[in-house]
A and B are shown apart, each in its own frame.
Chain A
Amino acid sequence: MSEIENKERMLELLADQAIFGLTKEEQIEFDALKLEFPHLAQDFSLEEAAAAIAFSGIEVEQAMPAGLQTSILKDAEKYFKPKAELSGTIDNLVDTATLRVPERIVFDAPKRPFWQWTGWALAGAACIALIANVWLTRIQPTEIAKDPQVTESPTPEPSLTQKREQFIATAQDIYKAPVSSPAEDKGLSGEIVWSDAEQKGYMTFKGLPVNDKSKEAYQLWIFDETQDEKTPVDGGVFDVDKNGEVIIPIDAKLKVKSPKMFAVTVEKPGGVVVSKREKIVALGKVQV
């Protein structure tokens, strides 16, 4: 198609998106055209016109239910609290599925006499004192800290669903890969999202069976365009411990530059360094 035809098609899709929403196929087409006409992709005037029409037909007959208002205010309380730092425990990263770090090779460090550690201990103590000083004198007295609503209760960790939504809303270079089963198991669905810029992503599966952790684990592999197909990037080992939808953060062990496909294999507990690819349970081809 010529540039003019493409532009017309882009406008059609913008209008369709504002009025009816797009089908998966249309969304793929739209995403491709966005690359050609980025300025049009940033034009929300059709959506705004549709929104104005929508409100022109609304009569406020009843107020929002009180219970719903309360729920939204509770959501707000959670949302606006400062984001908690990750504590470092893997449990905090996971809600519906359990992500585990694969087995690693550990090298024995040479043993040193205790006095060789003294210098390090002193340096460590000095660092702690410095951090405490900076915290007490510069960071602590903020406006947020004065707000009793913010400081009174512990900050709840956002759920993986919230984290994933926030990631999708904020990441600038999202790759999306709808998940399917190579065995054409219609019960399996989901989506993998990834951002090169953030080196972060999430897998969402529905219908991936619960695994017996003592015998096997799932492992994600990321096929990067810049990487040999024989050596995909390890995207992390995980378990599925409940039926229904699960969300798992991707834990890529190497930098991913331009993913083209994701695959989930069944491996031994703890995962493997190189997969024999004997049991591939899910595939996700990146949409372009």
Chain B
Amino acid sequence: MAESILKRISTGDNTAVKDCLDNYGGLVWSLARRMLPDVNDAEDAVQEIFVEIWKNAERFDEEKSSETTFIAMIARRRLIDRLRKIDRQPNADSFEDMVTEPVGKDGREVYISIDAKRAAAAMNELRPEQSKVLQLSIIEGFSHSEIADLLKIPLGTVKTYARRGLIEVREILAAENKKFDQGVTA
């Protein structure tokens, strides 16, 4: 099996940086643009995210998570930090524009990792209110108070839906990964 890009970065392979950018640049950029309304802010954030990725490359364990998920995790941490520092306003056109599943337009490529596909499927298994709160928070970048306003439900309920929904998605992903591992080893 080819060595992962992050492993190569951690061993000082210069070419891996370019590969990392080619493979994940668009994804990180899209994530930043979705969460940060200001393009300059998004550019700064993406630069910080890549430095963070290089710093943490050696911590990546391919036994535990996919490279895409690891990178998304680092990206989200940085973006959440940034959102907390600025007056947060997510980059969604409107609440109604929210989509349940990613859809390709005009032949443009839709990039979804295996984990992301499984996560999308797991979201469909949740109760609708849990799924909606997770979409608004994680995909659209709304804060809990904004979601409470949008859905006209108490703040505590938003948090409860989000927490329970995320924990369920984690359980579903873990079960799927286990099935996959058993399939590989069988």
Contact = CB atoms under 8 A, between A and B. Distances in A.
Interface of A: 11-12, 15-16, 18-21, 23, 44-65, 68-69, 71-73, 75-76, 79-80, 144, 147, 149-150, 162, 165-166, 169-170
8 contacts: A21-B81, A48-B70, A49-B173, A53-B119, A55-B27, A57-B34, A72-B25, A73-B17
A143 B22 CA distance: 25
A50 B73 CA distance: 8
A49 B70 CA distance: 10
Given A49-B119, A61-B30, A56 B112 contact: yes
Contacts of B47: 68, 71-72, 75
A72 B50 contact: yes
A76 B54 contact: yes
Contacts of A60: 26-27, 30, 108-111
A60 B138 CA distance: 17
Residue from the set A62, A64, A165 with the largest chain B CB neighbour count within 10 Å: A64
Given A20-B80, A20-B143, A60-B111, A54 B72 contact: yes
Given A54-B31, A68-B47, A79 B166 contact: no
6 A-B pairs closest in CB distance: A57-B139, A51-B72, A52-B119, A21-B80, A56-B120, A55-B116
B76 interface: yes
A49 B72 contact: no
A165 B50 CA distance: 13
A169 to B, nearest CB: 5
B127 interface: no
B25 to A, nearest CB: 4
Contacts of B174: 45
Contacts of B170: 45-46, 48-49
B46 A64 contact: yes
A9 to B, nearest CB: 11
A52 B137 contact: no
A80 B16 CA distance: 11
Contact of A56 (B21, B73, B116, B143): B116
Nearest to B80: A21
A50 B31 CA distance: 13
Contacts of A144: 12
A170 to B, nearest CB: 8
Contacts of A12: 159, 163
A239 to B, nearest CB: 27
Given A55-B69, A147-B14, 9 more contacts: A19-B137, A20-B144, A49-B170, A52-B119, A53-B139, A53-B166, A56-B116, A57-B139, A69-B25
B143 to A, nearest CB: 6
Contact of A79 (B25, B51, B73, B135): B51
A57 B76 contact: no
B152 interface: no
Contacts of B68: 55
B18 to A, nearest CB: 7
Contacts of A149: 14
Contacts of A45: 170, 174
A79 B16 CA distance: 13
A288 to B, nearest CB: 22
Nearest to B74: A51
Contacts of B115: 48, 51-52, 55
Contacts of A165: 51
Contacts of A55: 27, 31, 68-69, 72, 112-113, 115-116, 119
